[in-house]
Amino acid sequence: MKQNCANCNKNNLSSINSQLGIRYDSPIFSFQHLVSNNKYNFSGLPSNEFQNFCRLLIEKIYSLEKNYTIKSLFNLRKPNFFESFPIDRLYFKPKTLIYSKDTKVYVFRVTSSYRMICMYSDVAPIFHVIGFDFGFNAYDHGD
């Protein structure tokens, strides 16, 4: 479902309460908006590495959800396996999400070579996984 985020608070780091009063401080990951481009979704992974990668991905997500709050993740930096940058550095774009030109993407290192690329929703505390970087070719890595 597409959302109109014209009135969203950018990078809202406060705890978000649901209508039931439940606090969501832990990161949550959704794969609903994973791109269909085979270069950047699970199809881009060599078949002989698929099972091992999926195991490592689940372990990474479990660790992130268990050991970090959303706010603490935003305080991490590249040496710690997490980085962010403007969406215009990304070589692919999600077609199922509405976003502005100044939207940031968030990258988590799953392995030393493979990265999970997300967009964060400030409407709900969810990192939407939009793709993967399996060959250092999903975004401008800079210097």
Distance CA 123, CA 16 (A): 9
Q: Could you give the CA distance from residue 49 to residue 136 in angstroms, rounded to a whole number?
A: 16
Query: In a structure prediction context, what are the per-residue pLDDT tens digits for the chain, which is 143 residues long?
Result: 444 555 555 544 343 444 444 556 889 999 999 999 999 999 999 999 999 999 999 999 999 999 999 888 888 877 667 888 999 999 999 999 989 888 999 999 999 889 999 999 877 789 999 999 999 999 988 75
Q: Residue 105: name the closest of 123, 95, 93 by CA.
A: 93
Please say whether the structural domain 24-133 has been given the CATH code 3.30.2310: yes
pTM of the full structure: 0.81
Domain boundaries, the chain: 24-133
According to the model, what pLDDT value does residue 20 have?
47
Tell me, what's the pLDDT at 24?
66
pLDDT at 1 (0 to 100) = 42
Scored b (16 or more CB within 10 A) or e, 101-121 reads: eebbbbbbbbeeebbbbbbbb
The reported pLDDT for the residue numbered 5 is: 53
Rounded Cα gap, residues 131 and 143, in angstroms = 22
